[in-house]
Amino acid sequence: MQVITSKDNEKIKEIRKLKEKKFRDLNKQYIIEGIKLIQEAIYEKVNIDSIVVCEDCLQNNTIEQSLLYEIAKFNCIYVSQKIFELLTEVKNPQGILAVINRDLKAEQIDYTQDIIVALDDIQDPGNLGTILRTIDSVGLSQIVMSKNTADVYNSKVVRSTMGAIFRIKIIQVDELNKTLKEMKKHKYQVLCTSLKTENSIYDIDYNKKVIVIGNEANGVSKEILEMADTKIKIPMLGKTESLNASVATGVILYEYVRQKQNKKA
């Protein structure tokens, strides 16, 4: 087994560049870290370019033998701890990461789903990752994002998804308002979250709806609010006026789940 110990190794330099968005976009690749995420990637048959393993993890038996057998089927790169520390973005790394090739197929919106979540310039990586995870949890398989939404392949976003990123179709659009107009042509109604409405999330039938979640600081943009079929808000019993974007998304989506279960009963 050859262990890379030089930071000037070409492959190491390529992987280090993936910490920056411009190189993730250029190479159409991103990094995942940790045992669980790599197990998920293998299980979901994600396009894995290479797997990097820290030499010390092999000596300390950090990685189970069963996973070592699995990763041996891929292009494995073994590095010293010093080199691994140059690659990782985790405070307490498990000593294993992988480079993932993004799916380059043009993503088309699936108009057979009951609801579609669209993000209007969400900025916080933790919020974005949690929203993806929540979407996966309710059985949806796609998300539409405006071009100014945070980078979905940012390492914090990827970690926050807990593997959901492998199952959610990411549809990034240049002009969200035009995409929403196209969705309306497919008989979907646009729902926007807003504090300036009396419509509760519990008053809506969640069928053929696009739920637009707005920017953390400014909410849904004025242009998109003006084209909304309905504005909705989460009723508040306390003094707090609004919720974190990812929490709000979860509350709304689980009202959809409740309605869906009641229809089955």
pLDDT in tens, 34-52: 999 999 999 999 999 999 9
Specify whether domain 115-264 bears CATH 3.40.1280.10: yes
Confidence at residue 57, expressed as pLDDT on a 0 to 100 scale: 75
Burial class (CB in 10 A: 0-12, 13-18, 19+), 251: middle
What six digits make up the tokens of 191?
Answer: 């729902």
CATH of domain 3-101: 3.30.1330.30
**CB contact burial 166-175 (16+ within 10 A = b; e otherwise):** bbbeebebee
Q: What is the rounded distance in angstroms from the CA atom of residue 138 to the CA atom of residue 168?
A: 12
Confidence at residue 106, expressed as pLDDT on a 0 to 100 scale: 63
Q: What is the rounded distance in angstroms from the CA atom of residue 78 to the CA atom of residue 141?
A: 35
pLDDT one-digit tens code per residue, 220-260: 999 999 999 999 988 888 877 777 899 999 999 999 999 99
Confidence at residue 60, expressed as pLDDT on a 0 to 100 scale: 72
Confidence at residue 61, expressed as pLDDT on a 0 to 100 scale: 72
Confidence at residue 37, expressed as pLDDT on a 0 to 100 scale: 95
Number of neighbours of residue 207 by Cβ within 10 angstroms: 13
Domain regions of the chain by residue span: 3-101, 115-264
Confidence at residue 103, expressed as pLDDT on a 0 to 100 scale: 83
Name residues of the chain where pLDDT drops below 70.
1, 106, 265
Confidence at residue 51, expressed as pLDDT on a 0 to 100 scale: 96
Q: The whole model's pTM is what? A: 0.90
